[in-house]
Chain A
Amino acid sequence: MLETKNLTKKFGDFTALHNLNLKVNSGEIFCLLGANGAGKSTTINLFLNFLKPSSGQALIDGLDVCQYPLETKSRFTYIPENLRLYPQLTGLENLDFFYGLSHTQNQGLPNTGKVSKDQLIEVLNEAGLPSEFLHRRVSSYSKGMRQKVGIALAMVKNAQVLLLDEPTSGLDPQASNEFSELLIRMKSKGVAILMATHDLWRARDTGSHIGIMKQGHLLESFEATTISHSDLESLYLSHMYRHKTPIREE
Chain B
Amino acid sequence: MKNSAIYRIVIKDFVVSIRSGKFWTLAGFVFIFASVSLWLGQSQYNRVSTIKAEAIQQARHQWENQGEKNPHGAGHFGSVAFKPITPLYMIEAGLTDYVGEWVYLETHKQNSAEKRPANDRSVLFRFGQITPGFLFRFLIPLFVILLGYSTFSSEKEQNTLRMLLSQSITSKELFYGKLLSMFLQLAIMIVPVFLVTMGMFLMQDFSPFIPHMFILFMAYVLYLSTFVFIAIGISARSRTSGSALILLFAFWLISTILIPRLTVTISEILSPPFSSFDLKVTHDEKQDNKYVYGYKGRDDFSEMYAEIESELMQEYGVGDADSLEVNPFGFAIEKTEEEGQIIYDKTFGQINDLYKSQNKLHRKSVAFSPLSALHFLSMGLAHNDLQAHEDFLDQAEEYRRDLMKTLNMDIAYNSRKGKNNEEGNSHLPYVQGEEFWKSIRTFEYDELGLIKIISNHKYDVISLFLWFFASAFFANWSVKKLKIN
Chain A positions near chain B (C-beta within 8 angstroms) = 45, 48, 50, 69-71, 73-74, 76-78, 80, 82-89, 93, 97-98, 100-106, 114, 137, 163
B165:A84 contact, CB within 8 angstroms: no
Question: Across the interface, do A104 and B8 meet the contact criterion of CB distance under 8 Å?
Answer: yes
Q: How far apart sit A50 and B4, CA to CA, in the bound complex (Å)?
A: 23
Q: Which residue of A lies closest to B20 (CB)?
A: A88
List residues of B (198-250) whose CB comes within 8 Å of A's CBs: none
Q: Does B451 contact A (CB under 8 A)?
A: no
Compute how far the CA of A93 lies from the CA of B14 in the bound complex, rounded to whole angstroms. Answer: 13
* Chain A residues, CB < 8 A from B166: 48, 73, 76-78, 163
Q: Which B residue sits closest to A81, measured CB to CB?
A: B159
Total contacting residues, chain B, CB less than 8 A: 24
Check A97/B484 contact, CB under 8 A, given A85-B160, A86-B160.
no
| Residue pair B169, A100 in contact (C-beta under 8 Å) | no
Contacts of B163 in A (CB 8 A): 78, 80, 83-85, 98
Instruction: Tell whether B85 is near chain A: CB-to-CB under 8 Å.
Output: no
**Provided the pairs A84-B163, A87-B158, A98-B163 are in contact, do residues A104 and B4 lie with their beta carbons within 8 angstroms?**
yes
Q: Top 9 A-B pairs ranked by shortest CB distance?
A: A105-B168, A73-B168, A84-B159, A74-B168, A78-B166, A101-B167, A88-B19, A50-B484, A100-B8
Asked if A73 meets B15 with Cβ closer than 8 Å, knowing A50-B484, A80-B159, the reply is no
Expressed in whole angstroms, the minimum distance between the Cβ of B484 and any Cβ of chain A is 4
Residues of B contacting A137 in the complex (Cβ-Cβ under 8 angstroms): 19
Knowing A85-B160, A114-B3 are in contact, say whether A97-B8 is a contact too (CB < 8 A): yes
**B-side contacts of A86, CB under 8 Å:** 12, 16, 158, 160
Residues of chain B within 8 A (CB-CB) of A80 are 159, 162-163
B57 touches A (CB below 8 Å): no
The residue in chain A whose Cβ has the minimal distance to the Cβ of B164 is A101
What separation, in Å, do the CA atoms of A45 and B485 have in the docked complex?
Answer: 10
Task: Considering the complex, give the chain B residue whose CB is closest to the CB of A104.
Answer: B5
B112 is an interface residue with CB less than 8 A from chain A = no
Which B residue's beta carbon lies closest to that of A82? Answer: B159
Please, which residue of chain A has its CB at the minimum distance from the CB of B6?
Answer: A104
B contact residues around A84 at 8 Å (CB): 158-160, 162-163
Give the chain A neighbours of B350 by CB distance below 8 A. none
- Give B residues with C-beta under 8 Å from A: 3-5, 8-9, 12, 15-16, 19-20, 158-160, 162-170, 483-484
A78:B162 contact, CB within 8 angstroms: yes
**Whole-angstrom distance from the CB of A225 to the nearest CB of chain B?**
31
In the assembled complex, how far is the CB of residue A72 from the closest CB belonging to chain B, in whole angstroms? 8
Q: How far is the CB of A138 from chain B (nearest CB, A)?
A: 10
Q: In the complex, which residues of chain A have a beta carbon less than 8 angstroms from the beta carbon of B167?
A: 73, 98, 101-102
Smallest CB gap from B157: residue in A:
A84
B158: which A residues are within 8 A, CB to CB?
84, 86-87
CB distance B12 to A89 under 8 Å? yes
Q: A50 touching B165 by the CB < 8 A rule? A: yes
Task: Report how far A73 CA is from B170 CA in the complex, Å.
Answer: 11
Residue from A93, A106, A114 in contact with B168 in the complex, judged by beta carbons closer than 8 Å: A106
Neighbouring A residues of B169 by C-beta, 8 Å: 70, 101, 104-105
List the A side residues contacting B164 at CB < 8 Å: 101
Q: Which residues of A contact B168 (CB under 8 A)?
A: 69-71, 73-74, 101-102, 104-106
A114 to B3, CA, bound (A): 9
**Chain A residue contacts of B170, Cβ below 8 A:** 70
Q: Is the CB of A97 within 8 A of B5?
A: no
Q: Which of B8, B19, B20, B484 interacts with A101 by CB under 8 Å?
A: B8
Give complex CA distance A83, B159 in Å: 8
